[in-house]
Amino acid sequence: MDLGEIQNIMAEEMDKQDEQEALLSAYYRIAMKIIKKRFKSAALSDRKAWRTINDATYAKSRLCFFLGLTQQRQDVEPAKVVEAVSLYDIWLEVLGYYYENFEVFAAQLAVPFTKADVAAAKRTIAKKVDEYHDRLEVTTGLSFPLFDFQSMDGIFSFVQQSILGPEVFPAYIEEFNEALAILALYQVKSLKAPANPSVTH
């Protein structure tokens, strides 16, 4: 993507929301634009594959907020707590898609784990999802382990790589990193988010 395209996307987002939200939305839009351009395989004619890579990419953009949290507790609007819980939902769904297609993905990208390992991870995440939804019905004062957000980010990237394939994914990452360097011109302090929902290290 060239400078003009990125500037136009950022300008459009800035017209609709504050700088922090505009930056996160631009991250998502730019990533998906590159994916659509570079990945022309029939795999994305599979609606589930397309939805999964779209959800994973969206979640990675939103994680930029939560990965900036510290241990200090400050007040943040309840919507951010609700969003954090929604990322757990996406985490489970994305891992579920990988599990369903484990044999296909493992054949093209060697992995140090088995399908049974993925099933165990799904059960662990499903338990977290249920717990957070139950607690959310009572309060928005929830705490989330930083490790969970780091793990989500890694899984979302891994599933992107699995769907895009070992040939396309590096090209996507290269172009996206170049776009991020341009987006860095818009870097703002608001990305260093306050820390409630609290994140424990």
From start to end of the chain, where are the E strands? Answer: 143-145, 198-200
State the pTM of this model: 0.86
User: Is residue 199 in some structural domain?
Assistant: no
pLDDT digits (tens, 9 = 90+) for 1-59: 888 899 899 999 989 998 888 889 999 999 999 998 877 654 556 789 999 999 999 99
User: Is residue 195 in some structural domain?
Assistant: no
User: Is residue 41 in some structural domain?
Assistant: yes
User: Is residue 122 in some structural domain?
Assistant: yes
User: Is residue 196 in some structural domain?
Assistant: no
Number of structural domains, the chain?
1
Q: Which domain holds residue 125?
A: 3-67+77-189
The residue count of the chain comes to: 201
Which DSSP helix (H) or strand (E) runs through 97?
Answer: helix 78-100
User: Is residue 164 in some structural domain?
Assistant: yes
Whole-number Å distance between alpha carbons of 31 and 120: 30
Q: Within 10 A of 184 (CB to CB), how many other CB atoms are there? A: 9
pLDDT digits (tens, 9 = 90+) for 107-130: 988 899 999 999 999 999 999 999
